[in-house]
């Protein structure tokens, strides 16, 4: 009976196989304390007739907690994918900032912050890194002969000194040195590499 209910549940139980809930998450703490309490009560008052009911209650509780956590993580993953696509397609827009992303994707500032925190970065850093990676890709492309200034503007930087400082910080060389090394094929891998 429990197995049949689990099969009909949403999300499909197969999607949750090997899914782990971090021990510090509230649902994991709740599930653990509930399971321990239920087992302690069963030891005190258990009869053979209680086993199927206890197993069903515990199974339903675990399934409910897992489903809630799984759905939360899946929504966060969907948000991350949407944000990534939006940033990539609007990289050249100097107005690309957290408030602009929130407005266009209908996310709250807190939700956007949570999405980036789950990826171990911030929105500002992600945008800057994406722009720098695109600039490095263009600088290393022999078919593109655009000036470095034009490349910086084309990928969304509106402050050339900020672009230069950020580029040097990320890749260890100036944009000009990077271009020369990349075109000669002598760019050290440890100093940075254009994203593909």
Q: pLDDT tens across 48-99, in order?
A: 666 677 667 766 666 666 555 555 555 556 788 889 999 999 999 999 999 9
Structure-token pair, residue 140: 């290393």
Per the CB < 8 A criterion, the answer to whether 183 and 142 are in contact is yes
- Give pLDDT, residue 42: 66
- Give pLDDT, residue 54: 67
Per the CB < 8 A criterion, the answer to whether 38 and 92 are in contact is no
- Give pLDDT, residue 37: 77
- Phi and psi at 194, nearest 5°, equal -60, 140
pLDDT at 1 over 70: no
pLDDT band at residue 189 using 50, 70 and 90 as cut-offs: low
Contacts of 179-183 with C-beta under 8 Å, sequence gap 24+, read 179/139, 179/140, 179/148, 182/136, 182/139, 182/140, 183/140, 183/142
- Give pLDDT, residue 145: 82
Residues 6+ apart with CB under 8 A from 18: none
pLDDT at 158 over 70: yes
Fold of 124-191: Arc Repressor Mutant, subunit A (1.10.10)
pLDDT band at residue 194 using 50, 70 and 90 as cut-offs: very low
What distance in Å separates the CA atoms of residue 84 and residue 127, rounded to the nearest whole number? 9
- Give pLDDT, residue 51: 66
Give 153 or 143, the one with higher predicted confidence.
Answer: 153
Q: Over the stretch 111-145, which tens digit does the pLDDT of each residue have?
A: 999 999 988 999 999 999 999 999 999 999 888 88
> Poorest-confidence range of 21-35, 79-93, 115-129, 155-169?
21-35
Give the start-to-end residue ranges of the domains of the chain: 2-75, 124-191
- Give pLDDT, residue 143: 84
Q: Could you tell me which of 77, 132, 85 has the C-alpha nearest to residue 104?
A: 85
What distance in Å separates the CA atoms of residue 40 and residue 34, rounded to the nearest whole number? 10
To the nearest 10°, report the CA torsion of 22, 24, 27, 32. Answer: 90
Q: What is the mean pLDDT of the chain?
A: 78
pLDDT at 171 over 60: yes
pLDDT at 191 over 60: no
- Give pLDDT, residue 190: 45
Buried b (16+ CB within 10 A) or exposed e, 65-93: bbbebbeeeeebeebeeebeeebeeebee
């Amino acid at each position: 009976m429990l197995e049949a209910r689990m099969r009909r549940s949403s999300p499909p139980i197969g999607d949750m196989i090997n899914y782990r809930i971090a021990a510090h998450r509230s649902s994991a703490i709740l599930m653990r304390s509930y399971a321990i309490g239920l087992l302690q009560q069963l030891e005190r008052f258990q009869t053979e007739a209680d086993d199927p009911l206890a197993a069903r209650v515990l199974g339903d509780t675990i399934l409910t907690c897992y489903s809630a956590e799984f759905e939360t993580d899946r929504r966060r993953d969907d948000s991350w994918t949407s944000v990534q696509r939006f940033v990539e397609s609007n990289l050249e827009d100097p107005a690309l900032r957290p408030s602009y992303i929130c407005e266009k994707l209908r996310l709250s500032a807190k939700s956007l912050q949570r999405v980036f925190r789950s990826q171990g970065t911030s929105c500002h850093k992600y945008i800057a890194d994406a722009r720098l990676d695109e600039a490095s890709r263009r600088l290393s492309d022999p078919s593109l002969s655009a000036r470095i200034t034009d490349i910086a503007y084309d990928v969304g930087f509106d402050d050339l000194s900020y672009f230069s400082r950020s580029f040097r910080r990320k890749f260890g060389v100036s944009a000009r040195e990077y271009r020369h090394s990349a075109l000669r094929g002598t760019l050290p891998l440890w100093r940075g590499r254009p994203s593909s």
